[in-house]
Structures are given as structure tokens and as C-alpha cells.
Amino acid sequence: MNHFISVSEAKKIIETQIFRTEKVTLSILEAQGSYTSEPIFATLDVPSFDNSAMDGYGFRFDDLADFSELNVTEIIPAGISKIDFVLNRGEAVRIFTGAKIPDGVDTVIMQEKTTRIVDRIQFNDDEISKGENIRLKGSQTKVGTKIIEENTLVNHAVIGFLAGFGIEKIGVYKKLNIGLLYTGNELVEIGKPLLDGEIYNSNTYTLQSALSEINHQFSFVYHVEDTEEATFSAIKNGLETVDILLITGGISVGDYDYVKPALEKIGVSELFYKIRQKPGKPLYFGKLEEKFVFALPGNPASVFSCYHQYVKPFLLGCFGRKEFDEEQDFAISESFAKKKNKDQTQFLKAFYTKGKVLILNAQESYKMDSVAQANCLVEFPEGATEINIGEKVKIWKV
């Protein structure tokens, strides 16, 4: 089957194949970078007691009408609960930020707005309102409220928020088990000298670090020799231990491109092969039982582009992200671009800032300098042959 499909058809196919990984319970710190597998509810009122927002003095607001100064009778630091305390008329308490408001106190004034004379205070501010500087129990969250939706990314803000309720563990989706095979006899590991005709393997570095950015890692990375047998057995063995197998190189039509025939021989069902796009034309996506294979074209910029457009959304979808393709945005093009093939979508390395986007030079799929400079991909859509300066374009942040 050598039928080229469109970018949107390919994305539809990927979206329909998204499955959710198992649900697991992790400590809030271990869950960082994961997505919640169930909603989370408040286990407490927060704040759990009325407390002072300032270092100052607490008093009964109505006393202001009858007293020009108040007697300071108690000191209430944070962490202390005054149970046996009674605030009499004309009295105030010395209180500090975060300390529990004792019975009888309904207003706190910050100390800068008072004058202290031995054990009495006078007020320098005549614009005091009842209840000021008191953070009421449950004023952030009432116990039982849904505080986090299912499919929420657990980031540092969420973790800090949950810690405020004393929540230790939460339900999230389990990380995927991912393996990587990279093919090509010309590839040499960094640290070793290059012989004529050889190049350094960079694709595994791109993918390994991209995965760590989404809280995943490879369970193995193997270099596969360009032979039919080596390719067959590496894919067969690899598929036995992972949920997702990523392969780079060897997926085109050359005499040494063994990935596609090996996948067929193993019985992997092709979901698509070849997309009307640049870079990344010979991208392959297939399935064997509950396992998935992406065979990415070997060119380094194709790997980068295909990862962002297809692999990452699929992985995050399985990991619990709700929105497929959520990272798209629009910006005004600052540069002109042209393409001959109207039926093809291009993903152009570009740099956006303040709503404007500059399409970079060096778009060929063997060039990584533009990848390193880019902070987005501009979608040059099917049907269009030009992007003009000032035009609105869809960008994908990378």
C-alpha cells in the first residue's frame, strides 16, 4: 500500500488509536509531569481556621466607636491556638501573620498603622473596615470541593496546591514503556572518531531528551545494523518488552531500508505509511496487538518534526492529556515562503516573538541548525503555495 495521506488524515488516525495507560498512585512529587487519572477533592477547608494576614493587632471592630486606645492583653504567634482566652471590651491582642484569630477578634490592623505606648495601642488610620486582614476559614477552598480535574498536568503549581491540603498521594496515568531502535551503518556514537563516510548519531539524543521533557524515557536504545536479519530480530525482540517502539531511519525505499519489510514480516498492521508533508514524508505508524510502532524517517530534522506533530501528541494522549494538538497558536508571518507542491503540508522551522513569526533559513531535513534556533514550527498548509508577510499562520510551539 503506497498511498500518501494528508497531515490531517494522519493525525485523525493517531487520535483514534490513543489508549490510556494503567492508573497508578504516586506521591505528589513522584507524580510531577504526569496527568491525573481522576478528579481530586479537597480534604480540608483551606485555610482550615480564620487567621491573620498581617503582623499587627487584633480587636473587636465595634470597640473603635467607644475607645480611642486599646489595651494589649495577649500575644498570639502562629502555631498557637488560644482556647481559654476571652477578649474583653477595650482590649486588643498582639497577633502575627498566619496566627489563629481568637474568639472575639473580628478585625486586624497592621502594626505600621498603630502607635504602641507600653501595653496600649492607638490607631493612626481612620479608614479601618470590619474584618480586614482576616483570612477566613475555607475562603480559598471549602472541604469537598473538586480542586483538580481529571487529565490535569501535575506541575509544580499543582503540587504546591495539593500539598496545602496535606494530600500525599494522587492517582495518575502510568508512564509508557518506550524503546528506540536506530538504524544506519554510517552512524557513530559521539566520543568516537569519525571515519570518512560516517556521521554522528544525533537522532537518539533528540528523542531521548524530548522524552525526558515529557517525563518519559527509553527502556532501551539499540543501534541496528542495516541487514534484513538484524532489523527483523531487533524489531521483533523490541516489541516484546515495550508499549511503544520508535525506530529512526531505514523506512524509505532504498535497498538497505529494511524496516518496512521487517514490520510486515513480524505482522505489524500498517495504520499509515507516507504523508503528504515535508519533512517526514515516509513516516510509518503501525500496531501489533496493543503495541504501537512509529518508524521515523532518518533525517534529523524529520525526526524532530515528526516527533512534535505525531509522536508526542500520541504519547501524551496515552499518558492522560485531554487535548490532542493543544499547542497550536497563530502568529503574523514576518517572512515570505513559497512551495511548489500544493498538495503537501510543510512544517517550517521558525522563531516567534510577540505574536510575530520569522521563518528561518535552512529548512532541508538534514539541517539541524534551524532546528536548534527554532521555538516553533509554522504550518504551511495543504492547498497554499505562498505565505505572505503579514499573513496569519498556525504555529506549533516546540
Ligand X SMILES: Nc1nc2c(c(=O)[nH]1)N[C@H]1C(S)=C(S)[C@@H](COP(=O)(O)OP(=O)(O)OC[C@H]3O[C@@H](n4cnc5c(N)ncnc54)[C@H](O)[C@@H]3O)O[C@H]1N2
- The residues of the shown chain that bind ligand MOO, judged by CB under 6 A, are 278-281, 297, 299, 302, 365
C-alpha to C-alpha distance for 56 and 34, rounded to whole angstroms: 42
297 binds ligand X (CB under 6 A): yes
Binding window for ligand X (CB under 6 A); candidates: 55-63, 131-139, 299-307, 351-359? 299-307
Rule CB under 6 A: which of 129-188 touch ligand X? Answer: 182-184, 186-187
Q: Angle formed by the axes of helices 312-319 and 7-17, to 10°? A: 20
Partner touching 202 among ligand X, ligand MOO, none, CB below 5 to 8 Å by kind? ligand X
Q: Kindly state the cell numbers that stand for 251.
A: 523506512
251 binds ligand X (CB under 6 A): yes
Partner touching 251 among ligand MOO, ligand X, none, CB below 5 to 8 Å by kind? ligand X
- The total number of residues shown for the chain amounts to 398
3-state SS class at 65: helix
Identity of the residue, 47 or 279, whose beta carbon is nearer to ligand X in the bound complex: 279
Bridge partners, residue 284, by sequence: 273, 295
3-state SS class at 17: helix
Identity of the residue, 120 or 223, whose beta carbon is nearer to ligand X in the bound complex: 223
Identity of the residue, 128 or 188, whose beta carbon is nearer to ligand X in the bound complex: 188
250 binds ligand X (CB under 6 A): yes
Rule CB under 6 A: which of 19-78 touch ligand X? Answer: none
- Closest contact distance (angstroms) between CB of 98 and ligand MOO is 58
Bridge partners, residue 26, by sequence: 170
Choosing from 199, 362, 372, 389, the residue that interacts with ligand X (CB under 6 A) is 199
320 binds ligand X (CB under 6 A): no
Rule CB under 6 A: which of 341-370 touch ligand X? Answer: 365-366
**Nearest residue to 136 (alpha-carbon basis) of 198, 49, 77:** 49
3-state SS class at 185: coil
Name the closest residue to ligand X (Cβ): 298
- Residue 144: exposure state from Cβ atoms within 10 A (0-12, 13-18, ≥19): exposed
**Nearest residue to 224 (alpha-carbon basis) of 200, 248, 193:** 248
- Residue 330: exposure state from Cβ atoms within 10 A (0-12, 13-18, ≥19): exposed
3-state SS class at 168: coil
Identity of the residue, 250 or 297, whose beta carbon is nearer to ligand MOO in the bound complex: 297
Q: Quick one: how far is CA 331 from the chain centroid?
A: 22
- Closest contact distance (angstroms) between CB of 209 and ligand X is 14
Choosing from 201, 305, 309, 370, the residue that interacts with ligand X (CB under 6 A) is 201
Q: Which residues bind ligand X (CB under 6 A)?
A: 182-184, 186-187, 199, 201-204, 248-254, 257, 281-282, 297-300, 302, 365-366
